[in-house]
């Protein structure tokens, strides 16, 4: 599993937000049901999305609402995002003087 937004790998049991999506016919016989898709977001992206402006598209908006609901109702998800973030910061060198410029980290902002 990977985070849909940042493509970070999410190992089994790792903290994340999962969205399950399936389609089903209503009022049509025989009733049909698509396979269920699981979409995952890491805690940082979940919090970042929830704090950010509403996305475009009705389906995106529906998912954003659900994530906001989770982020807004309990601080546990924020805490998980904070733990991940401080874990990453802990891995960085104390000074910026060892080695050259870091590769692949030129942008300091999140892309939606």
Q: Is 77 in the site for Zn ion (CB under 5 A)?
A: no
- Least Å distance, CB 2 to Zn ion, is 8
What whole-number distance in Å separates Cα of residue 47 and Cα of residue 59?
18
Query: Count of CB atoms within 10 A of residue 63's CB?
Result: 19
Stretch that binds Zn ion, among 25-33, 41-49, 52-60, 103-111 (CB under 5 A): 41-49
Contact present, 34 and 23 (Cβ < 8 Å): yes
- Side-chain-side CA neighbours of residue 105 (13 Å): 5
Q: Is 3 in the site for Zn ion (CB under 5 A)?
A: yes
Nearest Cα neighbor of 92 from 108, 73, 77 is: 108
Residues 6+ apart with CB under 8 A from 73: none
Q: Is 71 in the site for Zn ion (CB under 5 A)?
A: no
Stretch that binds Zn ion, among 5-13, 19-27, 77-85, 103-111 (CB under 5 A): 5-13
Give the one residue of 16, 17, 40, 42 binding Zn ion; rule: CB under 5 A: 42
Q: Is 6 in the site for Zn ion (CB under 5 A)?
A: yes
- Least Å distance, CB 19 to Zn ion, is 13
Q: Is 45 in the site for Zn ion (CB under 5 A)?
A: yes
């Amino acid at each position: 599993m990977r985070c849909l937004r940042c493509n970070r790998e999410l190992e089994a049991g790792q903290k994340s937000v999962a969205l399950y999506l399936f389609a089903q016919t209503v009022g049509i016989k025989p009733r049909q049901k698509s396979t269920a898709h699981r979409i995952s977001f890491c805690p940082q992206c979940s919090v970042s999305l929830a704090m950010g402006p509403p996305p475009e598209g009705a389906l995106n908006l529906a998912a954003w609402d659900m994530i906001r609901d989770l982020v807004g109702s309990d601080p546990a998800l924020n805490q998980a995002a904070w733990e991940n973030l401080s874990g990453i910061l802990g891995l960085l060198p104390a000074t910026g003087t060892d080695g050259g410029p870091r590769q692949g980290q030129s942008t300091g902002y999140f892309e939606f």
